[in-house]
Each structure stands twice: as C-alpha cells, then as structure tokens.
Chains A and B, each alone.
Chain A
Amino acid sequence: MNKLLELSTTELSNLISSKKISCEELVSESIQNIKENDSKINSFITILDKEALQKAKDLDNKFSRKEIEHSFMTGIPIMLKDNIATKGIKTTAGSKILENYISPYDSFVTKKILNNNGVIIGKGNLDEFAMGSSNETSYFGPVKNPWDTARVPGGSSGGPAAAVSAGLVACSLGSDTGGSIRQPASLCGITGMKPTYGTVSRYGLIAFASSLDQIGPFARTAEDCGNILNVISGKDYNDSTSYEKDFNNFNSKINQDIKGLKIGIPKDYLKNVDPEIKIILENSIKEFENLGAIAEEIELPLTEYCMDVYYIIAPSEASSNLSRYDGVKYGHRSSTDENSRASLVDSRSEGFGDEVKRRIMIGTYTLSAGYYDAYYKKAQQIRTLIVEEFENAFKKFDVLLAPTSPTTAFKINEKTNDPIKMYQSDLCTIPVNIAGLPAISINAGFDKNLPVGIQIIGPQNGDQKVIQFAHKFQENSKWHLKYPKI
C-alpha cells in the first residue's frame, strides 16, 4: 500500500493546495489501494474508479489554469455511505429492495462535496437501511475489520469506517442514528463525529428514524472532521429540521487550550463496559487532566432506560418511513401478480432482510392503536426527561467523556442470533442521539491489538468544543496515527 492516505485529510488538502501533489496522484493512490485491498474487507458497494480518475485529471487542469479556487475538498477522494443519494449512481441502502435503484437526484451533502470539488470514489457498504451494529445485515455481505478480518468493523457505517481505517480513501461520510458513525469509528481505530441534530441536512439521506438520523464525517483526525463539517453543514430548505448555526467554523476553538475546563465522567455508562476499556478510559482522563482539564464523576440515572426508549422510537419511525417501499414507484417488485395487495406484501417480504423486518414489526406494534400511549408516547416523555438530564449536566460540565463501545470489535457471527445482545453494542452511543447532542469518537488505545475509542459528548451546538477536546487529545497522543496492516 502507498502511504499518502496515511496522512490526515487536512494534510492532504494542504499538499494539494501547495501543489506538492496533484489530485490525480492522490486519487490514483486511492484507486490502487482499493484494487489491492478492498476484496479483503468488502467496504465498497459501488466503486467509481474511472469517473474519479477523470474528475481528478479535470481538477488538476482547471486548478493549474486557475479556473477553480482551491477549497478544502479539492481532489480529496471520499466515500459516501450507500444510503446517501448520488444522482445517476446506484444508491442501495445495503438492501435487496433497492439493489438496482439509481437515484435521480443528489443529496444535499453530495451536492456540497461536488460543489467543493471533492472526488466521490464510491459508495460504502452498510447494515441494511443502517439497522445494525456490525455491518452483517448488509445484502452485499459483511464488511471486515481491517485490524482483524475475522471481526466486524461495527455498524451501521461499517464500509465508510473500514475504508478510512485501511487507507482506501482519505475520508468518508456516514450516518448516525444510534451510534452508526461513532461505534464503527471506535472499532476501526479512526475518528468519527455525529454533529448536533440539524447541523447537516438529511435531504437525500435514505430515512431510517428521522428524529435521530444525522450525517457526519469519518477521517483520521478531529481537525479533519471539523473541516469536513464546514463543507457539509448549513440550512437547507429541503430539510426543515436543518438550521444555520451562529458560528461558521467548526475548528475555531482548536487552538484554545482546555485548562480549567470541566469534564464529566458519567459512571452510568460504565456498567456493561469491558474492564480493559475502562482502563483505557482512565488513562484518557489522566491525559486530559495533564492538559489542565478538571474531571469529575457525574450521575445520569436515566442512562439505563435509553436503550429501551431508543428501541421504541427508532423502530416506530422506521416502520413509518419504510412503508414507502411498495414495489410500485421504485425498488424490488415480486413476480407475484395475482393482485396489487399480494404484490405489495411479497415485494416487501422478499426485499427486506430479517433485521429490517424485525424492526418494522416492533415499530408497527408500538405505534398500533391501544399501544401508542404505553409505548411511543411514554418513550417520547422519557426522552424529554433525558434531554433535561443532559441539560443539567452541561450546566456544570463543558463536555462528557465516556467509552464509545462497551467492547472492542467482536467476531463475525458472534452476536447475529441474539438481537438484544447486538443492540447492547450501542449502549454508550444511543443517549446522544436521543438528546440530539454532538459527539466524537477518537482512538485512545488498544486492547489485544484492537482499537478502543473514547467518546467526547457536548451540549447541543457545542460541536466546536467537542472538536477542541478531541484535537487537544490528538495533539498529545499518537493513537490516531496507528494503521492496520492488511
């Protein structure tokens, strides 16, 4: 493997800006690494090598003729998770039901990347409709962890995480509904960030649970994540939950030190966490204390209810969002043609995998007449209490620090027969989505040669602070500079 893609996206962007490397050089390396190594990890569903190389050559020409200005994304090879719509390119959501779906339009973030001259090099593998924590529910086969290909990369954004980790691309975009960016970032040893809900438009993101879904970046460093968010964030009239922030630079705090700032350590997050991961968390706390931050324990007693609240709200919204797949307008249609009702039921039953069906059934139950108040409404009421619990915590603390995942990468097939065990992979990440908070996962050490991530959680619109803490940690550690050998 060539070495350019071991650099951060920010470093690569600077190399292109100063013309030390060309877009073609960088994109060619990405394509070569994909050809050499993707067969070992299965991180791509669609590879756009020819288009990407042509685009890189065009950019070099335009750039040398001064027809375009350099921007952060110019010539950067990026992967988009395959639930992000790309015009004229297959957008499958990892599902048989959308196996041949070619999006007629670009998502908001796709347009932003293209307008900033980023080079989309392919579409990333994922759990079907982003429902999963291991990337094993993908119709296109599981992604493998670059640190140990017998293990999962996490999910649902397993492809985007594994591709960055393995140096196939500089960065990628994923989506995070209950941890789907942060957990795979942790299991693959890279940096991944879910911004505050509403930061990035969901227009063109195939909907899973609309009140929880948020797009965010994977890259080598926190600074990279800030730079990418600068490109993809902003108000979009096609997503009424998106909004303009009162700051325009996610990285404007990274040079400020964290002396005297307060970190809360929620001990309720540690109950089901492996002891080796607790040790790495403790070491990280010491690291932050060495940098002058003040760490204190905090109680967040509602944490133990978050998983159940999530597994009511997310499937409820999913059962509603996925009712659009009917084999009529787009997607798989069954060969059953006796009548339209039979065609509808068979198209859906053939097109969706087991986990998606399971969640549609849970959501149908919790939203059905007679159960709505006891489940959905109750969960949304507890959600209000969870939001308040976080608001109170952030009156005292600048950020919270917790493990990202209770375990390191587990073996492929280890948890596939026990949905509840699989759901528990997201114990530490789910609360953040319920309250719409920003959080970043950064690599903080290794257990038996497998990466361990820690998660920095901020208050709503505290995205800059989250990046600041992560950046300070990375300035003073080398964990984010470790690369797997595949």
Chain B
Amino acid sequence: MKISKEEFENLSKLASLSFDSSKENIVQDLEKILSRFESLSKIDTANVEPTSHVTNLKNSMRDDKNKKILSKEEILQNSPENTSGQIKIPRVFDNE
C-alpha cells in the first residue's frame, strides 16, 4: 500500500491539517495501518446490511419546541476573538 505525494496533499487538505517535518513518519504510519485493512476483503459481506446503530433503538422523538440553552455571552466566552457580540476571524477572501 503506497500513498502518493498528490494523494497525501489532497488528504491533508480535506483534513485541514498541515505536516512539515513529521510528513515522512505520518505517510509511513498511514501506509502501514491502511495495509492492515486489506485483510477485511477476505470476509464475504454480500447482502449484509451495514450497521447504522447497535441497539436497534427506534426513532427517538422530542417535542419540536424552542428551548433556551445558552446565552449569547456564554457562547461567545470561549471564542478566541470577538467584537460587539460577534465572532471575529481573519479575512475570508484574498482579493477585494
């Protein structure tokens, strides 16, 4: 099992992670771990339903009502940067 450079770049992009010095280690680890999974193809799963939930619980419903859970202040208290009751982030667009 080999992960190409392009594949690794794409994967990092999807995961929103960057790897600098540790890149070679992580590629090797991933290759080793993903290679293990090949053994699963030995098991015949034709016509087997994938598990969606282990306890066979049926729909769990609650009343469709508004509930006050947290105040705006409580929600904002953990944001790294906020101003006038809003979360502030670096700019989204590169060009004006």
Does B78 lie at the interface of the complex (its beta carbon under 8 Å from any beta carbon of A)? yes
CB distance from B36 to the nearest CB of A (A): 6
Chain B 53-91, CB-CB to A under 8 Å as 1, else 0, gives 111010010100000011000110111110000010111
Does A197 lie at the interface of the complex (its beta carbon under 8 Å from any beta carbon of B)? yes
| CB atoms of B54 and A211 under 8 A apart | yes
| CB atoms of A385 and B43 under 8 A apart | yes
Cα–Cα distance between A331 and B32 once the two chains are bound (Å): 32
| CB atoms of A328 and B70 under 8 A apart | no
| CB atoms of B57 and A243 under 8 A apart | yes
Chain B 10-41, CB-CB to A under 8 Å as 1, else 0, gives 01101111110010001001101110110111
Residues of A within 8 A of B40 (CB): 305, 308-309, 312, 378-379, 382
Cα–Cα distance between A378 and B54 once the two chains are bound (Å): 16
CB distance from B89 to the nearest CB of A (A): 5
| CB atoms of A384 and B50 under 8 A apart | yes
Residues of A within 8 A of B29 (CB): 358, 419
| CB atoms of B39 and A308 under 8 A apart | yes
> Which of B33, B34, B79 is most buried by chain A, counting CB atoms within 10 A of its CB?
B33
Chain A, range 318-352, C-beta contacts under 8 Å to B: 319, 323, 326-333, 336-346, 348-349, 352
Known: A312-B37, A333-B81. A345 touches B17 (CB 8 A): yes
Does A275 lie at the interface of the complex (its beta carbon under 8 Å from any beta carbon of B)? no
| CB atoms of A375 and B17 under 8 A apart | no
Cα–Cα distance between A459 and B89 once the two chains are bound (Å): 49
Known: A308-B40, A337-B90, A382-B43. A357 touches B17 (CB 8 A): yes
| CB atoms of B18 and A311 under 8 A apart | no
Residues of A within 8 A of B15 (CB): 319, 357, 360-361, 364
| CB atoms of B36 and A311 under 8 A apart | yes
Q: Which of A330, A342, A377 contacts B50 (CB 8 A)?
A: A377
| CB atoms of A368 and B60 under 8 A apart | no
| CB atoms of B78 and A368 under 8 A apart | no
CB distance from B30 to the nearest CB of A (A): 6
Residue in chain A with minimal CB distance to B20:
A349
Q: Which of A328, A349, A364, A460 contacts B89 (CB 8 A)?
A: A328
Residues of B within 8 A of A196 (CB): 55
| CB atoms of B16 and A348 under 8 A apart | yes
Known: A211-B53, A343-B90, A383-B51. A330 touches B79 (CB 8 A): yes
| CB atoms of A333 and B32 under 8 A apart | no
Known: A196-B55, A340-B90, A383-B51. A419 touches B43 (CB 8 A): no
Residues of B within 8 A of A323 (CB): 16
Chain A, range 239-284, C-beta contacts under 8 Å to B: 240-241, 243
Does B4 lie at the interface of the complex (its beta carbon under 8 Å from any beta carbon of A)? no
Residues of B within 8 A of A311 (CB): 33, 36-37
Residue in chain B with minimal CB distance to A98:
B78
Cα–Cα distance between A333 and B55 once the two chains are bound (Å): 39
CB distance from A98 to the nearest CB of B (A): 9
Chain A, range 342-392, C-beta contacts under 8 Å to B: 342-346, 348-349, 352, 354, 357-358, 360-362, 364-366, 368, 374-375, 377-385, 387
Q: Which of A338, A375, A434 contacts B37 (CB 8 A)?
A: A375
Residues of A within 8 A of B18 (CB): 345-346, 349
Does A412 lie at the interface of the complex (its beta carbon under 8 Å from any beta carbon of B)? no
Residues of B within 8 A of A385 (CB): 43, 45, 48
| CB atoms of B36 and A420 under 8 A apart | yes
CB distance from B53 to the nearest CB of A (A): 7
Chain A 98-113, CB-CB to B under 8 Å as 1, else 0, gives 0001101100000000
| CB atoms of B60 and A240 under 8 A apart | yes
Residues of A within 8 A of B55 (CB): 196-198, 241, 243, 436, 460
Cα–Cα distance between A357 and B33 once the two chains are bound (Å): 14
| CB atoms of B36 and A104 under 8 A apart | no
| CB atoms of A102 and B77 under 8 A apart | yes
Cα–Cα distance between A305 and B74 once the two chains are bound (Å): 45
Q: Which of B49, B54, B62, B87 contacts A381 (CB 8 A)?
A: B49
| CB atoms of B87 and A329 under 8 A apart | yes
Residues of A within 8 A of B52 (CB): 380
Does A435 lie at the interface of the complex (its beta carbon under 8 Å from any beta carbon of B)? yes
